[in-house]
Structure formats: C-alpha cells, structure tokens
Amino acid sequence: MDMSDIDLMIMRATQGGLPLVPEPYVHLAEQLSLPVDVIMARLRAMQENGVIRRIGVVPNHYRLGYRFNGMSVWNVPDERVDALGQQVGQLPFVSHCYHRPRNLPQWPYNLFAMVHARTQTDVETQLCQIAAILGDDNLGHDVLFSTKILKKTGFRSANQA
C-alpha cells in the first residue's frame, strides 16, 4: 500500500465529515486500521500539497443570512480573461472565480465569479465593483441567483462503501 492508497482511504473516510468525538483522528485510525500518527501525518501532508484545501466548516450561506448568492458571469475577451480573473478573484466578497468555456449561442460568458451578500443593495454594489475592474473588456454580463438548493452533499466518491 503506497501513500496514494492511504490518502484515498483517508479521503473516502472523511469526505462526509470528521467524527464528532473527542479524538477524531484516533477514531479514523481505528476505522482504517492505521496508526494515528500516519493519519495525522498524511492529513498534514495533504494540506501542504493542496489536496486538502482546508479542514473546517462550510456554512449554509442562507442560514447565515446571506440571501443573495449570485453566480455573476461575464463575457470578456479570451486574451484578457486571466489578467481580469486574477483581479476579480481578489475581491473580498468573491468566493469562487473561474474561467469556463462559452456554450454559444446560448451562453456567451467565460468568466464566473460567485458573490455573496445579505442585501440587494450590497450585491448591486459588488457587481458594480466587478464591472469597474473589467471596464471596456466587459462585453456583457448576467447574474444568476439561486432560487433553491436542490442538493448539497459535498464530494462523495461514487465508489464509497
């Protein structure tokens, strides 16, 4: 069994969440029949190499009062998208910022930025800030608000037991 096998076992065992017991890593170690030192070392290693983005909580935005969760989408020239995406991603209210492909003719947008606000006014201000960064490179935009969470489970492996 090499490191990647161990990492995969740990991922499968924890992608649903960490055990809510006083010694969660010991609990995992027993579950996986591995030494707890190995579990903790691999978790640290995966955090350092970016396989684990972070360990922590993910709140339901709505339950924290963030009712305006918008997927703002922008049509910018492809040769400018990297430079602009870097800048938009730095805005404090943007949680995710990606370059994605257009699907013409239905979908002309190639820059995606998720924004989160508690009021309509706040979200409008946020969109203005993004538009200001894009300037003349903003060839069109839209904002899609979610009207319902249909599913939110986190990333479960299909092969998970």
Subset of 39-98 contacting another protein (CB under 8 A): 40, 43-44, 46-47, 49-67, 71, 81-82, 85-86, 88-90, 93-98
Least gap, CB of 11 to another protein (angstroms): 6
Q: Which is nearer to another protein, 1 or 58 (CB)?
A: 58
Q: Enter the tokens of residue 1.
A: 């069994």
- What's the min distance (Å) between Cβ of 136 and another protein? 20
Q: Which of 72, 76, 116, 126 binds another protein (CB under 8 A)?
A: 116
- 36: its two tokens: 């707890």
The reply to whether 5 sits near another protein by the rule CB under 8 A is no
Q: Which residues of 117-151 are buried (b: 16+ CB within 10 A; e: fewer)?
A: beeeeebeebbeebeeebeebbeebebeeeeeeee
Determine phi and psi for 112, rounding to 5 degrees: -115, 130
